[in-house]
Structure 1
């Protein structure tokens, strides 16, 4: 399966002598060195791919370059160097007219602030992208109405934006993006302006929609819990660079450096980890027979704890072919909850009755 979106060695530099600044960055210069010369390096050598139907989350603190990176993906900002390919097409090589056509029909954006037109009704706001495309009025209103229903706003079509709560206004923004049937959704801190409870509702809404629509989404956030909840894959940015890319489990269990590890300290691990990330793959011979109560590699940490509490032996983890791929001893679960700064050491694996060590293969 080919990637839907590819970013290759992207740089974005603001200020004087930008090409020279890129050369210096490639040679090992950092942001501070360039800043002293009046040049700002917003994004430095960013590369990643996004597969069709995937939610790819880019997270980092304010000033890390994540929003600048997002705006290069649809051509709102021109990269100083590097390429962006969408379905194999090099967006950085398109003319302004062709790029506007791609943005109008294939890429939609959902902003942090709702950006609704106060003088247009809810359905007219949701239909705006289709209006830009030149879709006839009857068709665009029908498609906008369908999108509003998908987003839980059936019955609010004729209301005005100021009659809606913040969460409902953000749903209109999401419906507007969905109505165009774009292949790619870019979401820039789309839920960060909302109250915590409404924010979680919007996360739920997005995940529910994704099960139906299978959109390709790039989602920007500074909240690691949100990134862990939404992202199929996550890129962590620091000072303009992507310092780690991986699944939520990768970043939580195997942080690339101390900076990434510091982000994970306050994350509720039990909502992220699964059996595959905590199981011991070296299985003792007496444990290989303890498969009466089993889990799968995707079993949640919460469910593992519930299973383990009822057992006097480790939980056996079986793959789709009912093959033993690991076990989860109770002390390993306690280790992941009790010491969140490091992965627990593997349990010892003594010899089995035949004198051989039993090793489960993933």
Structure 2
């Protein structure tokens, strides 16, 4: 097997240590052992695979450190050590991987600062570091030489403000900094970028959300007030749930004519649900639960079908047919009808008819129980007496 170029053993039930002999397959260009039950350390012999372009050891139970000499894999373009139990810091030798385009290290037990030299790898396009105990050095000056498409640092221990060096990544399509300890306000430069998906949920950001395009906001999650100036036309799904959004639900959301799903749950939104949402002909899901909304739930068109009470739960001031809670306007006394005289005549006519009918019914009942039995002839009475004697 010394001439083997491609080896994919992923998705099996292999267990134990990765065999050291795998380092003898020096012609290998792609090696995948992912989604197995391998444990122990990554064998140093694997670093003998100088022709390797793709190395995927993800979804195992590998532990110990990432090999110090990982940088010897000089032809590597994709390195995936994610979803293991790897510890210690990111080895500095990785900066020697001048062809590296994709680095997956998420969901391990890595610690320390995110090294600034990572962003000096010119070829790097996809960087996944989330789910570790990694922080960044807020005092370090970072001048990236890479051009990132994806930057994911979800669920690390990032703190401080969102670093402005990210603004240099003009090709960035996905930015995930959610579930960290970031503070400060939403940076204006981020609103000016063409990022398609921004995840900032689970941080301590505050302030007002600047005008933004729907493609970004549809995946945007953080603590802001929804601006009335946000008018987006093409979105089909808008999910900004589980944040600290405050203020009123903008009536302008009713202009999202293609919207099929709107999730505003678990925020601090107040006021009423705008009637403009009834204009959304494509809407099939509306979840505004766990807010501070009040007033009547709009009716008409698709809103009449939004009758799942769970989607309105924990808004103590809401009412409407969708949740079978009557609004006060339905409980107030109604005005006298215009045909009052006719109804009055009909009522008294009914009383009169009822009196006559009731009289004859009463007489009939008395007759049946014996109060109006006709008197028998005298002779008949004499016969009854004789029989008794």
TM > 0.5 between the two? no
Quickly name the TM-score band, shorter chain normalised.
under 0.3
More helix by share: 1
TM-score (norm 1): 0.26
**What is the TM-score normalised by the length of structure 2?**
0.25
